[in-house]
A = this chain, B = another copy of it.
């Protein structure tokens, strides 16, 4: 691996996010790098990466694009559990013969690679730790989603969700940008927040009017992060002593 490749890979958002979860050795980074440059698969937008109830196959890493986990009720109602962005893991299961618990669908073209397995105790300890922390974070997001759906108003839900998206996309980074590209419609956001798209629209208008945040043109912009954080007001528990958050 030459220097140019090394730099390019180190800058890859997916690798950056995974590396932020646990300290990785040079050999582990190399394992990841190899996986990320081979066995790539790109799935077009609006396709399923997994279908609820079907057997889970190889564990994957999302390298490019966005996807979401959802469930659709018999009468058509849909709930979106969460989004998968570069650096997220798919299909890790500790037990035998696992079945997919949710459907995973792409929002735009998604590139994945097979997640490398830890080789032995020396090469892979950090990797295993990173996978475990990634899983713990996912659980934390699910708890936060339950709290949003169960106890926050529409206004609060949008704010809290927006902050979470920044967190997810910038794990371990000291500074957040002020905006984030989102390939999602208001309908998708509604199904994520347990609202109708009409009410999402009205709520977004109110949030912009109040100078808190803006979602327009496929871009989420935090207009007043300070005030958003205060309104969301949910205490955030850290999952690990490691300094993932500041």
Contacts and interface: CB of A to CB of B under 8 A. Distances in A.
Contacts of A48: 241-243
Number of chain copies forming the complex:
2
Nearest to A102: B143
A114 interface: no
A103 interface: yes
Interface string A99-111: 1111101000000
B99 A241 contact: yes
Nearest to A138: B139
Given A142-B146, A149-B150, A74 B241 contact: no
A72 B241 contact: yes
B146 A98 contact: no
B101 A242 contact: no
Residue in A99, A140, A146, A241 with the greatest tally of chain B CB atoms within 10 Å:
A241
A105 B136 contact: no
A245 B73 CA distance: 13
A182 interface: no
A16 interface: no
A244 interface: yes
A150 B234 contact: no
A73 B151 contact: yes
A235 interface: yes
A65 to B, nearest CB: 15
A97 B133 CA distance: 10
Interface stretch (A24-32, A76-84, A199-207): A76-84
A246 B79 contact: no
Interface string A43-72: 000111001110100000000000000111
Interface in A200-222: none
Nearest to A134: B95
Given A74-B236, A238-B74, A146 B145 contact: yes
Interface string A113-133: 000000000000000010011
Given A53-B235, A55-B241, A150-B193, 15 more contacts: A51-B239, A52-B235, A71-B143, A73-B151, A73-B233, A73-B234, A74-B233, A78-B243, A93-B136, A94-B132, A95-B135, A95-B239, A101-B136, A102-B237, A105-B241
Interface of A: 22, 46-48, 51-53, 55, 70-79, 81, 93-103, 105, 129, 132-133, 135-136, 139-140, 142-143, 145-147, 149-151, 188, 191, 193-194, 233-246
